[in-house]
Structure 1
Amino acid sequence: MNALDVTQNSILRELRVDNNNLTVLDVTQNPLLYRLDASNNQLPSIDLTQNTVLEYLNLSNNVIPTLDVTQNVALRSINISFNLFTGSGLDLTQNLDLSSLDISHNQIASLNITQNADLTSFNLSFNIFPGNDILNQFATLTANRGRLLGRLIANNNLLSGPIPDFYGLYDPTIQTRRFELFINENRFHFGDFESQHLGLVNLTTTMSIGPSPDVVIRNYWYAPQDKVNNIENFNRNAGDNITLTTTVRGAQNHYVWFKDGIAIPGLQTRQT
């Protein structure tokens, strides 16, 4: 389907037009719309300013670079994955009921989620977030709720620096089930989360209290991480000794050594 006109459907409540070839979708005449799934199309933009009761929005797999959701104060779920968002992504300061957010596979470098107190499911993977600010924001929201809950999928970014103490947010007297944490494929050193690592690993086999007990942490992915230090070039003769050094944070790192961009077979180092 290449085109659809719903401008005369003023009492439309739910619209699913996913997996088509739409390049235009006008929903400005649908003020009662509460669910919209327009994923897997070719939309370059969409105006949602008139959809003030919208609760569920899926625009994944389009070609959208910007989106105004400041008028959509009832939104609970947003999926804008696989689009063209850059910079600070989108303004979420008015979406106070937001609990699920997927912004994966864009080029977003920063985002303000400080007003999204109910946010428990957050996928920011495959973007270009640097540092650890976005992790600290999510950890603060979690701490304010007083319960380790939901999922944080933050793999494949440019994240670095100390990771918030998610293990310290676990309270065994409160039911905590199936939390997920993905921080692999970033620029962390083991020292950035070494103090809580064993605790998080143990929670993957720790059962929560009832009712319906389950593992406290369902997924915890922390490795691999990006290369450390700069590439070095050496001019040595055959038989000469060479000393290779690296500087990282932490005391129990594991290294794979590379030559000409290829891992040296059997040469791995464990720091103890």
Structure 2
Amino acid sequence: MQALSAQRDQLGECPRWHAETQTLWWVDILKHQIHRHHPASGAHRVIQLNEEIGCFIWRKTGGLIVGLQSGLAFIDDVENPVLTPIADPEADKPWQRFNDGRCDPAGRFIAGTMNGRKDDSYGTFYQLDAALNLRQLVGKSWTCNGLAFSPDGKTLYWSDTPNLTIYRCDYDVATGNVSNQQVFFVVPAGMGRPDGATVDSEGNYWSAQYAGGRVLCISPQGELLRNIELPVTNPTMPCFGGPALKTLYVTSASQKMTEEHLAAHPMEGAVLAISMDIAGLPEVAFAG
């Protein structure tokens, strides 16, 4: 286990492996940045935006789709990151922002919102198809998180971070419909809060535990298989990358930590790289 680079994020999130360029991308929500890192060479690029970005994924036609404080938008050219707005389904709640998101196997973009002020407003997941039709999909939480799909696409997972609960739902890839939501796993007290997640090639669900300093691996049957302790307090999201998709990258957060703590714990806020004995799944690009 090692730090990917010397980069220290305030709130690193949404790591994504880009197979064509063999680069790891992720965001720092609070710094309004997208990072792109080439592990083989150490080359690092920072794309600066003007607002908080929670999630992104590549488009099949080029560029990115991003989930922001102001809603969903396209970035056609990452070297010149001009935002083209798509939709802001919660424009009447300016304290909300998009948080976690990725595409389903058909290339629909699903992204969840979160409540930044922790009042009686809840976030939810929205689904955007290739024709840019937007609908509310699933979830009701202050922080909608942990979105991932089983290898066959028939199961959607998401986590209700404040309530320590991970759900599973039946998912119809043909229609994009969700049904039969059930509790999948409740994180035991003292192990952290379920943040971002990914699924491996065998269908296991890997969940970063914010404030718990660990990543949990949970079988499709809801059995805890692994508990990987990390040298960071606040891991935020894992993803598989590397040439064979056998490196587990984990973003983390250093927000609200003192200079003394950071000096004593140099990996806080780093992206961690962990060699694994199991492979992940490639990310699906947005079809629109």
- Give 1 or 2 for the bigger CA radius of gyration: 1
Using structure 1 for the length normalisation, give the TM-score.
0.24
Using structure 2 for the length normalisation, give the TM-score.
0.23
Of Structure 1 and Structure 2, the greater strand share is in 2
